[in-house]
């Protein structure tokens, strides 16, 4: 089996290497036509046109978003259903400073190689385009609400990085807008007639500062006042704050959000004002599946990825975590830039069409293709991944 495994993986890598010039053209096109979240019309078109030409059956607008898509290839009937997810949104005012232009072509490279090389076992492969990762209400979370991804057994992704690694955690997050309403009055002539929503927000922020002292270490609470009134001599009738609360554990975070709400209640009570909450985004934490991460990292070593490193200690929030909360998944980050260089920087942007970026895209395609082979051809590995996911998720819900 080891020899057969080696041979298949070598074949997959060879096919991907052959398609490198075309994949580079695709990524360069997306790089030079940057489109922000939910407006990625050209990127979605070039990727879906290419997939359709390769014999995938393409569904546009998958998960209720016009620039999302799903391209399916079925080999035989039954078998695992593996999703290869890709983003293609750029940063507002900056272009592709997070290297999302590499993802679609990389997943296409992997998918084409699997379709050509992995023929003897049944499986379904879905290349899924997921818009608007950089937007506060990440596209994948919206697609999930609309029923997407639920058919998958495993979800895989790639992302550019400063090291080659997989994450073992990401933060669940809740973001909302709080609008307090009070009573407007002249601040000098009739302060007794006024009820200040700005003061309500200031009291709420003080309450949140004290709350920080009585929550678990991993909790983050941050906010801004986006509207505190217009002129100094008028008590405003409206004040608005944006709040975000995070933790590495969704179920614990839900408890913290309830406590935040009680602080908002208290601030309204103290100031004789009222308030309303508008939810902007709800992200889940990643449920890490270490056996899947290990498969990816073994294949990264086999593909000779550069700068192989242990998982990152600090991570933010991502909409892919919401997918990973319901389906076992993992994202391989592949190094294309010097270690320590932060995403969303000029350096990332400048390197977007470099040889290193093209190489990372190809390495990631190889890693993903070989991992799909591992999952569809070796049933024990597939079962191990599914079982570990169920176990870890049960544990996290007990906190
Ligand atoms: Zn990104």
Query: 100 CA to middle of ligand 1, Å?
Result: 6
Task: Give, to the nearest 10 degrees, the angle between helix 41-53 and helix 103-117.
Answer: 10
Query: 217 CA to middle of ligand 1, Å?
Result: 26
Query: 213 CA to middle of ligand 1, Å?
Result: 32
Contact 365, 156 (CB under 8 A): no
The pLDDT value recorded for residue 2 is 62
Query: 63 CA to middle of ligand 1, Å?
Result: 20
Query: 285 CA to middle of ligand 1, Å?
Result: 16
Query: 155 CA to middle of ligand 1, Å?
Result: 17
**Cβ-Cβ contacts under 8 Å for 92 (sequence gap 6 or more):** 36, 134
Nearest-angstrom CA–CA distance, 347 and 248: 29
List domains and CATH numbers for the chain. 2-170+286-396 (3.40.630.10), 172-283 (3.30.70.360)
Query: 307 CA to middle of ligand 1, Å?
Result: 19
Query: 233 CA to middle of ligand 1, Å?
Result: 44
Query: 97 CA to middle of ligand 1, Å?
Result: 8
Contact 47, 104 (CB under 8 A): yes
Query: 336 CA to middle of ligand 1, Å?
Result: 14
Query: 91 CA to middle of ligand 1, Å?
Result: 9
The pLDDT value recorded for residue 383 is 97
Q: Which of 296, 354, 305 is nearest to 329 (CA)?
A: 296
The pLDDT value recorded for residue 211 is 98
Query: 171 CA to middle of ligand 1, Å?
Result: 15
Query: 225 CA to middle of ligand 1, Å?
Result: 27
CA atoms within 13 A on the CB side of 250: 21
**Cβ-Cβ contacts under 8 Å for 207 (sequence gap 6 or more):** 263, 266, 267
Query: 21 CA to middle of ligand 1, Å?
Result: 24
Query: 8 CA to middle of ligand 1, Å?
Result: 31
Ligand 1 is an ion; residues with CB less than 5 A from it? 98
**Residue-level pLDDT, tens digit, the chain, 399 residues:** 568 889 999 999 999 999 999 999 999 999 999 999 999 999 999 999 999 999 999 999 999 999 999 999 999 999 999 999 999 999 999 999 999 999 999 999 999 999 999 999 999 999 999 999 999 889 999 999 999 999 999 999 999 999 999 999 899 999 999 999 999 999 999 999 999 999 999 999 999 999 999 999 999 999 999 999 999 999 999 999 999 999 999 999 999 999 999 999 999 999 999 999 999 988 999 999 999 999 999 999 999 999 999 988 778 889 999 999 999 999 999 999 999 998 999 999 999 999 999 999 999 999 999 999 999 999 999 999 999 999 998 887 766
**Cβ-Cβ contacts under 8 Å for 101 (sequence gap 6 or more):** 27, 28, 30, 31, 34, 43, 88, 90, 352
Query: 99 CA to middle of ligand 1, Å?
Result: 7
Instruction: Indicate left, alpha or beta for 268 from its phi (over 0: left) and psi (-120 to 50: alpha).
Output: alpha
Which tokens is 222 given? 């941050």
The pLDDT value recorded for residue 313 is 76
Query: 178 CA to middle of ligand 1, Å?
Result: 28
The pLDDT value recorded for residue 394 is 86
Query: 358 CA to middle of ligand 1, Å?
Result: 16
Query: 318 CA to middle of ligand 1, Å?
Result: 9
Contact 137, 281 (CB under 8 A): yes
Query: 364 CA to middle of ligand 1, Å?
Result: 15
Query: 238 CA to middle of ligand 1, Å?
Result: 35
Contact 67, 50 (CB under 8 A): no
Nearest-angstrom CA–CA distance, 175 and 246: 9
Query: 159 CA to middle of ligand 1, Å?
Result: 7
Which tokens is 41 given? 């019309």
**DSSP run (H or E) holding 82:** strand 81-86
pTM of the model as a whole: 0.89
Task: Give, to the nearest 10 degrees, the angle between helix 2-18 and helix 355-377.
Answer: 140
Query: 122 CA to middle of ligand 1, Å?
Result: 32
């Amino acid at each position: 089996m080891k020899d057969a495994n080696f041979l298949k993986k070598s074949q997959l890598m060879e096919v991907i290497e052959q398609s490198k010039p075309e994949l580079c053209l695709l990524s360069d096109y997306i790089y030079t036509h940057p489109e922000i979240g939910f407006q990625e019309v050209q990127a979605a078109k070039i990727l879906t046109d290419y997939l359709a030409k390769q014999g995938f059956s393409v569904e546009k607008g998958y998960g209720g978003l016009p620039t999302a898509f799903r391209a399916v290839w079925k080999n035989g009937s039954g078998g695992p259903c593996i999703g290869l997810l890709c983003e293609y949104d750029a940063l507002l005012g900056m272009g592709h400073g997070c290297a999302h232009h590499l993802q679609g072509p990389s997943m296409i490279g992997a998918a084409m190689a699997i379709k050509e090389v992995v023929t003897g076992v049944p499986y379904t492969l879905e290349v899924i385009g997921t818009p608007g990762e950089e937007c506060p209400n990440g596209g994948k979370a919206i697609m999930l609400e609309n029923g997407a991804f639920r058919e998958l057994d495993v979800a895989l992704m790639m992302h550019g990085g400063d090291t080659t690694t997989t994450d073992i955690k990401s933060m669940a997050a809740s973001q909302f807008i709080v609008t307090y309403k009070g009573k407007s009055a002249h601040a000098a002539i009739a302060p007794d007639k006024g009820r200040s929503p700005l003061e309500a927000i200031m009291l709420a922020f003080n309450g949140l500062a004290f709350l920080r002292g009585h929550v678990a270490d991993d909790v983050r609470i941050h906010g801004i006042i986006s509207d505190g009134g217009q002129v100094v001599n008028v008590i405003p009738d409206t004040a608005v704050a944006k709040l975000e609360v995070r933790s590495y554990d969704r179920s614990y975070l839900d408890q913290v959000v309830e406590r935040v709400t009680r602080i908002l209640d208290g601030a309204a009570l103290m100031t004789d004002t009222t308030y309303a909450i508008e939810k902007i985004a709800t992200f889940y934490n990643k449920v890490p599946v270490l056996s899947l991460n290990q498969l990816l990292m073994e294949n990264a070593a086999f593909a000779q990825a550069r700068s192989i490193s242990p998982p990152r200690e600090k991570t933010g929030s991502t909409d892919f975590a919401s997918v990973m909360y319901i389906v076992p998944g993992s994202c391989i980050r592949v190094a294309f830039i010097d270690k320590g260089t932060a995403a969303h920087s000029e350096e990332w942007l400048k390197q977007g069409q470099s040889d290193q970026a093209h190489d990372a895209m190809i390495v990631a395609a190889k890693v993903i293709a070989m991992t799909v082979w591992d999952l569809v051809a070796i049933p024990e590995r597939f079962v191990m991944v599914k079982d570990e996911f169920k176990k870890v998720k049960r544990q996290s819900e007990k906190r």
